[in-house]
Structure 1
Amino acid sequence: MQHSPKQQPKMLSAEQAITQMLAEVQPLVQQETVPLAAALDRVLAKPVLSEMNVPGYDNAAMDGFAMRVADIKPNQPLVVVGKALAGHAYTAKVPSGSCVVITTGAVLPPELDTVVMQEQVNLTQTETEQHIVCQLVPLVGEHVRRAGEDIAKDQPVFAAGHKLRPADLGLLASLGFASVTVIRQLNVAIFSSGDELIAPGQPLPDGHIYDSNRYVIAAMLQRLGVKILDLGLLPDEPAAIEQAFLQAMANADVLITSAGVSVGEADYTRHILQKLGDINFWQVAIKPGKPFAFGKLNHCWFFGLPGNPVAAVVTLEQLVQPILGKLSGEAPVAEGTLLRAECQVALKKQPGRQDYQRGWYWQDGQGLKVKTLGRQSSGMLSSIANANCYIVLPADSASLPAGESVLILPFSTMLR
């Protein structure tokens, strides 16, 4: 851990900042067992192996007739001796020259080896029995799902570190799992501070603004499946700020704040941070989001986001999200895919920092198109609330005319 901004003589790229933070943090190790119904977005603590074959038995892939391929001769009828229904197996012996009606998912009688679709047979009925004549000679195993062909017993289903999605819970349920062992949830504390901030719903005096950062940060964190400790809206008083830090240090794995990390902002906030822990105050070469702080308060990791609302959103999603993933025990995941799109408007940019301009992309007959949505001020949340992607302009890029090909990064689940 570096202890002084003097050790960071220039701005870090986003990749450098993320690499340094990932090198510092270690995943949680505490485990707990939770019911399957409560396991969405939880991270598996150990691999899951199937305790059964899926399917558990040879069965029909569609409605038709089950038979032996060896019994099928041109224009020679087979006697229909019974029915195999889903949930009701046909258990009697099937003599040579016979077949059974079978429905999708029903157990294939052990002496039979193929299924012919009902549309591919001619069925005749006498007073005492039914006969079929196949219109073709099938292959052995046609329209048959073999036991274990989807998942074999003892086969790995999910690796440790896998974050469970809705379909994953269905798969686990289909394998008979009622609960899973997961890493305990990350506890993340947040608070807002500032005498100019007013809680939503209250009258707004002149010179004040409503507290928005705490709400958007909490909402984004909910998408990550962490537990949130909301320490509220605090005044610009050193004692109140220090008490919030101490509460977070005692009860949370992570503390995330916004504002107070820029040069010239609230000197007592920096003083308290440096008094209680090891904190780096960085300048990261992204726009919006240049001021950023990272460090540790005893056993609690600290992330200080810029105060401007859009800058707080961008740094939380782009810089902090990967670190929270590692802390939660989640296996490394591929970064969001950058796509190419034709920009429909001119873009303003000064070289120097990688720019995350907020945009809206869509597909038409000629490919992906994108445009910005009004002004790109880092204080205007509407620019991100009405967007579905970032237009990512490299650090050395300058302004671009309309019609240029640009890279876009669709919003992650934190913002969608």
Structure 2
Amino acid sequence: MKTVEQHIRDVLDLVEPLEPIELDLLRAHGGVLAEPVTSAVSLPQFDNSSMDGYAVNADDLAGASSDTPVRLPVVADIPAGDVSPTAVRPGHCARIMTGAPLPRGADAVVPVEWTDGGQATVAVDRPVRRGNAIRRAGEDVEKGSTVLQRGARLGAGELAVLAAVGRASAPVHPRPRVVVLSTGAELVEPGSPIGPGQIWESNSYMLTAAALEAGCAAYRRGFVGDDPATVLETIEDALVEADIVLTTGGVSMGAYDVVKEVLSRLGTVRFDKVAMQPGMPQGAGTVGESATPILTLPGNPVSSYVSFQLFVRPALRRLRGLPPDPLPVVHARLTAPVPHSPRGRRSYLRAVLEYDSGGGSTAYTAQPATRQGSHQLSALADTNALVVVPEAVTELPEGSVVEVLQLPAHP
């Protein structure tokens, strides 16, 4: 059988970062910056006040106290956005608002709380140090400096930086468009009546949500039955809106494994047995004239979910222009034994990972779920990690230190 690492490499060979496009800021949200951004200006662009108060010459207030306040004539009001030239001579001051430009001759701002709030003259009851409450030009960003690096994921903070340096748009690798399709004649749409031998379809919801959580634009195409012509037509129709297609079901060795039957004829999709549990049957390749990547995942819900985290997630990261990093790994002590693991296949066991402040060098514990069947979906909602049992290991006692993959947290 094929190794997990080899299948990851084969999947990643199918994808490249999406071509950058220039998008306005809100549409660029969630994208990955395709080139570094430098600032054409300094931030702040001018010395300004960080609070409401009075712009003063600090020397004028050297002897101020609550018993002997210093009174200064107020020669101007300076609101934020004021562009008129203003100067303050020694022995005078100007009332100033937060964000307003500092007038010439002033070297400090007195908070209004230190004064009587006067408008014609103001009484100040304490001295002030030079530079107090002043935001100096360039103290945040120097003109010509890089404010965002290539590969930055554009969230709220990054968009704020772009806007602050005057950028109305940015070149980004756009969010990949992921189309998800389930197959199976036994599937019924949730909310519809169910008959004998039928099940409500859940995989496409799970995979679409996982793709959304991975930073993609994801579209659920629902499910199709086991008719080969319909399956192929549905996949081909999906290509117009897809940068990558995910299918679930129909890839094993059964007589009605229609995805494998249909795509094998194309000669561009390879189906393998990967030495893992759950998720042994896997397929990967391209479809259509555009050679759109397609990853065909098993139909058992847990197999499909684990396959997404191991194989699909790194591919989506590469499409986004990010390093195709695997799930983060920690080491943890098992709080229960693992009695059975198939020799020759790497097992991924759902588990609850917890931080153990008294754990010494191993700061985590992992409690394997009691329900590990590939069809037992309910345990997925209760777990946050996958315990890795190597291919040559068939059982692990309680207290064993194991490698654990941390599943993504809900956004």
**TM-score of Structure 1 vs Structure 2, range by shorter chain:** 0.7 to 0.9
**What does 1:323-362 correspond to in 2, within 5 Å?**
323-328=315-320, 330-332=321-323, 334-350=325-341, 352-362=344-354
Counterpart residue type for residue 410 of structure 1: Q
What is residue 107 of structure 1 aligned with on the other side? 101
TM-score, scaled to structure 2: 0.81
**Residue of structure 2 equivalent to 1:378:** 374
How far, CA to CA, are the matches of 1:225 and 1:277 in structure 2?
Answer: 31
1:79 aligned to which of 72, 78, 98: 72
User: Deviation at 1:349?
Assistant: 4.9
- In the alignment, which residue of structure 2 is the partner of 1:58? 47
> 368-377 vs 235-244, which deviates more?
368-377
How do 1:18-37 residues align onto structure 2 when only pairs under 5 Å count? 18-29=8-19, 31-33=21-23, 35-37=24-26
Aligned to 2:3: 12
Q: Helix, strand or coil: the match of 2:13?
A: helix
Q: Which moved more, 1:272-281 or 1:106-115?
A: 106-115
Evaluate the alpha carbon distance shift between residue 348 and residue 40 of structure 1 in structure 2; reply closer, same or farther with a 3 A threshold: farther
- The correspondence of residues 200-211 of structure 1 with structure 2, limited to 5 A, is 200-211=190-201
3-state SS of paired residue (2:178) = strand
Q: Contact (CA 8 Å) 2:354, 2:366: kept in 1 or not?
A: yes
Distance 1:264 1:102 in 2: 78
Match of 1:94 among 88, 94, 106: 88
Alpha-carbon contact 1:349-1:397 (below 8 Å) kept: no
Stretch of structure 1 that moved more, 304-313 or 104-113: 104-113
Q: Residues 205 and 409 (structure 1 numbering): CA distance in 2 closer, same or farther, change over 3 Å? A: same
C-alpha spacing 1:302/1:132, structure 2 compared with 1 (3 Å): same
Q: Which runs of 5+ in 2 are unaligned?
A: none
- Structure 2 residue aligned with 1:259: 249
- 1:359–1:371 Cα contact (<8 Å) kept: yes
Q: Which residue of 2 aligns with 1:40?
A: 29
CA distance in 2, matches of 1:250, 1:95: 69
| CA pair 354-341 structure 1, distance change in 2 beyond 3 A | same
Match of 2:140 among 132, 150, 156: 150
> Retained in 2: the 8 A contact 1:160–1:331?
no
Q: 1:193 to 1:144 in 2, by over 3 A?
A: same
Q: CA deviation digits over 1:327-366, x for unaligned, max 9?
A: 23x2326544333444433334535444332233344654
Q: Deviations over 1:272-321 (max 9, x none)?
A: 21222322223334332222111112411110111110111111122111
CA contact (8 A) 2:179 2:242 kept: yes
Of 274, 280, 294, the residue aligned with 2:284 is: 294
Gapped regions of structure 1 (runs ≥ 5): 1-9
Amino acid at match of 2:86: A
* Counterpart for residue 305 of structure 2: 313
Q: Percent identity?
A: 32
Q: After superposition, what is the alpha-carbon deviation per residue over 1:179-235, rounded to whole angstroms, capped at 9, x for unaligned?
A: 444445533333222222222222222222221111211222233454445444222
Instruction: State the distance in 2 between where 1:124 and 1:63 align.
Output: 13
Letter paired with 1:81: V
| One of 387, 395, 398 as aligned partner of 1:399 | 395
CA contact (8 A) 1:78 1:99 kept: no
